[in-house]
Structure 1
Amino acid sequence: MLCSHSIAHRLSKKLAIFTAIVIGMVSSASWFSVAMMVKQRNLQDLGVRCDLLADILSLEAQNGGETAVLQRLHTDAPMRARTRLEVWRPDGQLFYADATPASMQASEHVRAHEFAIDAPGLPGGQLRARYSVDFTSSAKLGARWAIILSVVTLMAGVVVALGSAWFVRRSLKPLNLLAAQTRAISPRQLDQRLALADPAEELSPWIVQFNALMDRLQQAYGQLEAFNADVAHELRTPLATLIGETEVALSRERSPQALRETLQSNLEEMQRLSALVNDMLFLSQADRGVTARRGAPVSLAGLAAQVSEFHEATLEDAGLALRIEGDATLPVDEPLVKRALSNLLGNATRFAEPGSTVVIAIAPAPEPQQVQVVVQNRGEAIAADHLPRLFDRFFRVDSARCCEDGQHHGLGLAIVAAIARMHAGRTVAESASGTTRVGFTLAT
Structure 2
Amino acid sequence: MPTIEPGAVRIGRRARRPASLALRVTAWVGLATTLTFLVAAWALEVSIEEHFAGQDLAQLRPVAQTLRLSLDDAAAGAGSVDLQRRFAETIADHHEVYFRVEGADGRVLYDATPSGLAARAHAEPAVQKLDAAALRIWTTGGRSYRGAVLRIDRDTVILATAIGYHLHFLAALQRALWLGTLSASAFSVLVAWLAVRQGHAPIRRIGARMRDVSSEHLDVRLDPDKVPVELSELVASFNAMLERIGQSFERLSNFSADIAHELRTPVTNLRTQTQVALSRARSAHDYREILYSNLEEYERMSAMIGDLLFLAQAEHQLLRPEPAEVDLGAEVAGLFEYFEAWAEERGVRLQAVGHARRIRGDRAMLRRALSNLLSNAIRHTAAGATVTVRLGSDASGWLEVCVENPGADITAEHLPHLFDRFYRVDPSRQRNGEGAGLGLAIVKSIVEAHGGSAGAVSAGGLTRFCMRLPAPASKARH
| TM-score > 0.5 by shorter chain | yes
Summarize the Cα distance change of 1:294–1:208 in structure 2 as closer, same or farther, 3 Å threshold: farther
289-298 vs 424-433, greater mean Cα deviation = 289-298
Which of 314, 326, 329 does residue 342 from structure 2 map onto? Answer: 314
Partner of 2:7: none
CA contact 1:365–1:441 (8 Å) conserved in 2: no
Does residue 213 of structure 2 align to residue 185 of structure 1? yes
Does residue 107 of structure 2 align to residue 93 of structure 1? yes
Partner of 2:149: 113
Summarize the Cα distance change of 1:82–1:342 in structure 2 as closer, same or farther, 3 Å threshold: same
TM-score using structure 1 length = 0.87
* Aligned-partner Cα distance in 2 for 1:427–1:12: 55
Partner of 1:430: 457
Summarize the Cα distance change of 1:224–1:92 in structure 2 as closer, same or farther, 3 Å threshold: closer
Shift of residue 58, structure 1, vs aligned partner? 4.7
CA contact 1:83–1:133 (8 Å) conserved in 2: yes
CA contact 2:146–2:160 (8 Å) conserved in 1: yes
Q: Identity rate of aligned residues, in percent? A: 32
Summarize the Cα distance change of 1:263–1:81 in structure 2 as closer, same or farther, 3 Å threshold: same
Shift of residue 221, structure 1, vs aligned partner? 1.0
Secondary structure in structure 2 of the residue aligned to 1:415:
helix
CA contact 2:356–2:393 (8 Å) conserved in 1: no
Summarize the Cα distance change of 1:399–1:91 in structure 2 as closer, same or farther, 3 Å threshold: closer
Q: Tell me the alpha carbon deviations over residues 345-391 of structure 1, each in whole angstroms, 9 at most, x when there is no partner.
A: 0010111233333222344468x685433211112222333223322
* Aligned-partner Cα distance in 1 for 2:77–2:339: 141
Partner of 2:39: 25
User: What code does the residue aligned with 1:375 have?
Assistant: V
Shift of residue 10, structure 1, vs aligned partner? 2.4
Shift of residue 21, structure 1, vs aligned partner? 1.6
CA contact 2:356–2:399 (8 Å) conserved in 1: no
Which of 436, 439, 456 does residue 409 from structure 1 map onto? Answer: 436
* Aligned-partner Cα distance in 2 for 1:394–1:116: 112
CA contact 1:352–1:378 (8 Å) conserved in 2: yes
* Aligned-partner Cα distance in 2 for 1:140–1:400: 98
Does residue 374 of structure 2 align to residue 338 of structure 1? no
Partner of 2:378: 349
Q: Tell me the alpha carbon deviations over residues 31-79 of structure 1, each in whole angstroms, 9 at most, x when there is no partner.
A: 4455456445644643443113322565688796221221232344455
Summarize the Cα distance change of 1:363–1:212 in structure 2 as closer, same or farther, 3 Å threshold: farther
* Aligned-partner Cα distance in 1 for 2:36–2:331: 75
* Aligned-partner Cα distance in 1 for 2:18–2:40: 35
CA contact 1:396–1:402 (8 Å) conserved in 2: no
* Aligned-partner Cα distance in 2 for 1:369–1:146: 82
Partner of 2:87: 73
* Aligned-partner Cα distance in 2 for 1:228–1:186: 19
Unaligned runs of 5+ in 2: 1-9, 117-138
Summarize the Cα distance change of 1:407–1:355 in structure 2 as closer, same or farther, 3 Å threshold: closer
User: What code does the residue aligned with 2:352 have?
Assistant: R
* Aligned-partner Cα distance in 2 for 1:137–1:311: 114
Output aligned runs, 1:237-248, within 5 Å. Answer: 237-248=265-276
CA contact 1:374–1:440 (8 Å) conserved in 2: yes
Secondary structure in structure 1 of the residue aligned to 2:310:
helix
Partner of 2:3: none
CA contact 2:328–2:357 (8 Å) conserved in 1: yes
318-327 vs 356-365, greater mean Cα deviation = 356-365
CA contact 2:56–2:146 (8 Å) conserved in 1: no
CA contact 2:213–2:220 (8 Å) conserved in 1: yes
Output aligned runs, 1:140-289, within 5 Å. Answer: 140-289=168-317
181-190 vs 347-356, greater mean Cα deviation = 347-356
Shift of residue 11, structure 1, vs aligned partner? 0.8
CA contact 2:348–2:387 (8 Å) conserved in 1: no
Which of 412, 415, 418 does residue 390 from structure 1 map onto? Answer: 418
Secondary structure in structure 2 of the residue aligned to 1:203:
helix
22-31 vs 172-181, greater mean Cα deviation = 22-31
Shift of residue 272, structure 1, vs aligned partner? 0.8
Does residue 163 of structure 2 align to residue 135 of structure 1? yes
User: What code does the residue aligned with 1:192 have?
Assistant: V
Residue-pair matches, total = 434
RMSD value, Cα: 3.0
Q: Tell me the alpha carbon deviations over residues 281-317 of structure 1, each in whole angstroms, 9 at most, x when there is no partner.
A: 1112222222442413433333333333322332333
173-182 vs 133-142, greater mean Cα deviation = 133-142
Summarize the Cα distance change of 1:7–1:313 in structure 2 as closer, same or farther, 3 Å threshold: same
User: What code does the residue aligned with 1:321 have?
Assistant: L
Partner of 1:122: none
* Aligned-partner Cα distance in 1 for 2:45–2:429: 91
